[in-house]
Amino acid sequence: MNFEQARFNMVEQQVRPANVLDGDTLDVLMTARREFFVPPAHRALAFADTSIPLGKGASMFPPVIEARILQAVQVRKHEKVLEVGTGSGYMAALLAAHAQQVWSIEIEPALAETARANLARAGIGNVSVEVGDGLDGLPAHAPFDVIVVSGAVPDVPEALLSQLKVRGRLLAIVGVEPVMEARLVTRVDEERFATRALFETRVTALRNVSRQRFVF
């Protein structure tokens, strides 16, 4: 398989038509080695417009969702990023391209181990993969400039909002089957948050959401 041609086709035929036109975002998608993060049994689907199963009930987002998330959060070089739900490590790799440091939390130890190996293979050194329940965030390294929740939640977890810097951005896919939407939350000040709906979608829910403390 010609991965470079497949990567180009993914960007030109899936990502750009979805109105992902930010130059920095497109550059990252053109250079990130997505094939390194896809399980061998599904490598032929590495650039297909579909979610990819990872085992343990987890899956990779389709490329368009990853691209829309990356464009929405606009990570900058000096920023600290938290990802909830590491999966394969690919979303963390995309975020790391423009971040100072990324911490990614994965509840399933086997997936965390695989993600670390994938990131090492891709030569990405500014991502730390932690094992734990990401719904609690990562207080030891908070506050964060950007938080990305890589899985659906019924509503935005309060613990994550509390770990967001003022002017920081949090992106989560909120809702339950069959209605979900991506929301971008910006912390205006210590007390106030502004929320913007970005797009409708359907993705796999994060594990352990039943214990989530909701913000209504």
What average pLDDT does the segment 56-83 reach? 97
SS3 call for 11: helix
pLDDT in tens, 43-61: 999 999 999 999 988 999 9
Please tell me whether residue 13 adopts helix, strand or coil conformation: helix
Do 57 and 65 meet the contact criterion of CB atoms below 8 Å apart? no
Mean pLDDT, rounded, for 79-104: 98
Which residues are within 8 A (CB) of 42 and not within 5 positions of it... i.e. 6 or more apart? 52, 53
| Contacts of 12 by beta carbon, 8 Å cutoff, 6+ apart | none
Q: What pLDDT is recorded for position 214?
A: 42
CATH homologous superfamily, domain 3-211: Vaccinia Virus protein VP39 (3.40.50.150)
Sequence ranges of the domains in the chain:
3-211
- pLDDT tens for 96-128 read 999 999 999 999 999 999 999 999 999 999 999
pLDDT at 1: 85
Is pLDDT above 80 for 131?
Answer: yes
Considering the entire predicted model, what is its pTM? Answer: 0.94
Three-state SS string over 165-202 comes to EEEEEEEEEEEECCEEEEEEEEECCCCCEEEEEEEEEC
Q: Please give the angle made by the CA atoms of 53, 55 and 99, to the nearest 5 degrees.
A: 70
Tokens representing 187 are 């912390």
| Neighbouring residues of 44: CB distance < 8 A, sequence distance ≥ 6 | 1
CA dist 140 and 128 (Å) reads 13
Q: What is the pLDDT of residues 151-166, one digit of tens each?
A: 999 999 999 999 999 9
96 contacts: CB under 8 Å, gap ≥ 6: 81, 102, 124, 126, 127
Query: Rounded CA gap, 129 and 45, in Å?
Result: 25
Note the Cα 92 to chain centre separation in Å.
6
Q: What is the pLDDT of residue 216?
A: 35
Contact indicator for 147, 206 with CB cutoff of 8 Å: no
CA 200 to CA 149: how far, in whole Å? 15
Q: Are strands 164-176 and 179-187 parallel, antiparallel or unpaired?
A: antiparallel
pLDDT value at residue 209: 67
pLDDT of residue 180: 96
